[in-house]
């Protein structure tokens, strides 16, 4: 078995929605990124790549490569799944935490988990999404951005 951890942050900028866990949530600002800014899936990509000893998301998808401009991060996640499988590993379960004062995530966690389970070939219940505020403390509490943590457990393919 192998375990990996991922962490990512994106700051708020102009926009009218955020994409988190592959779910589009209307919001008065968007997340600034080269891709769609899906901080949750970026953390999860890093957890998967880390568990397999395959580096990190920036190595696989350079942020100066036009190929990833505006990319759907679910596409990046599936690429990571394939890279991990080519290295001989399959996800067993993943767990993730979004850190955001706003928007409210609770109404969307099941759809996010379902997207992740579908992309990683996991049973429902083996992909989990949680959310927390930071009680208005720090950069997430000031609503300057959104952060995410993820852990992934891999087993032999
Ligand atoms: N952006 C968020 C943050 C939190 N939640 C949900 O609220 C619960 C309580 O959050 P605390 O920060 O006060 O612990 C948390 O467990 C989440 O279920 C949310 O939906 N969206
Ligand atoms: C995903 C990539 C590539 O589009 O860019 P961003 O969307 O800016 O996201 P980030 O989490 O900074 O890192 C990895 C990048 O290479």
Which residues surround ligand 1 with Cβ inside 6 Å?
100, 102, 104-106, 131-133
pLDDT at 141: 98
Confidence of residue 118 (pLDDT cuts 50, 70, 90): very high
Nearest to 130 by CA among 154, 157, 96, 107: 96
Ligand 2 atom at shortest distance from the alpha carbon of 39 = 11
To which CATH superfamily is domain 2-156 assigned? Answer: 2-C-methyl-D-erythritol 2,4-cyclodiphosphate synthase (3.30.1330.50)
pLDDT at 28: 98
Q: Please indicate if the annotation marks 73 as binding a ligand.
A: no
pLDDT at 47: 99
Nearest CA to ligand 2 atom 9: 33
Question: Do the strands 127-132 and 89-99 form a parallel or antiparallel pair, or are they unpaired?
Answer: parallel
Return the half-sphere exposure (C-beta side, CA atoms, 13 A cut-off) of residue 48: 31
Distance 135 CA to ligand 1 centre (A): 9
Q: What is the pLDDT of residues 135-148, one digit of tens each?
A: 999 999 999 999 99
Decide if the complex's ipTM is over 0.85: yes
Helix, strand, or coil here: 144?
coil
Which ligand does the CA of 20 lie closest to? 1
Model's pTM, two decimal places?
0.96
Residue 125 phi/psi, 5-degree rounding, is 100, -20
pLDDT, mean of residues 95-118: 98
Which ligand does the CA of 9 lie closest to? 2
Q: Please indicate if the annotation marks 46 as binding a ligand.
A: no
Which ligand does the CA of 107 lie closest to? 1
Contact 37, 31 (CB under 8 A): yes
Ligand 2 atom at shortest distance from the alpha carbon of 32 = 8
Distance 102 CA to ligand 1 centre (A): 9
């Amino acid at each position: 078995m192998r375990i990996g951890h991922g962490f990512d942050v994106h700051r708020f900028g102009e926009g009218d929605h955020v994409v988190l866990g592959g779910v589009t949530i209307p919001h008065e600002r968007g997340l600034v990124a080269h891709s769609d800014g899906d901080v949750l899936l970026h953390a999860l990509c890093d957890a998967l790549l880390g568990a397999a000893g395959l580096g990190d998301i920036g190595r696989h998808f350079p942020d100066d490569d036009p190929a990833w401009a505006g990319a759907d991060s679910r596409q990046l996640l599936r690429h990571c799944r394939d890279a991990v499988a080519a290295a001989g590993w399959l996800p067993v379960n993943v767990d993730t935490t979004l850190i955001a004062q706003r928007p409210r995530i609770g109404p969307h966690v099941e759809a996010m988990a379902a997207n992740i389970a579908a992309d990683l070939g996991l049973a429902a219940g083996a992909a989990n999404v949680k959310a927390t505020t930071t009680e208005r403390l720090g950069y997430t509490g000031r609503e300057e951005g959104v952060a995410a943590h993820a852990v992934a457990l891999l087993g032999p393919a």
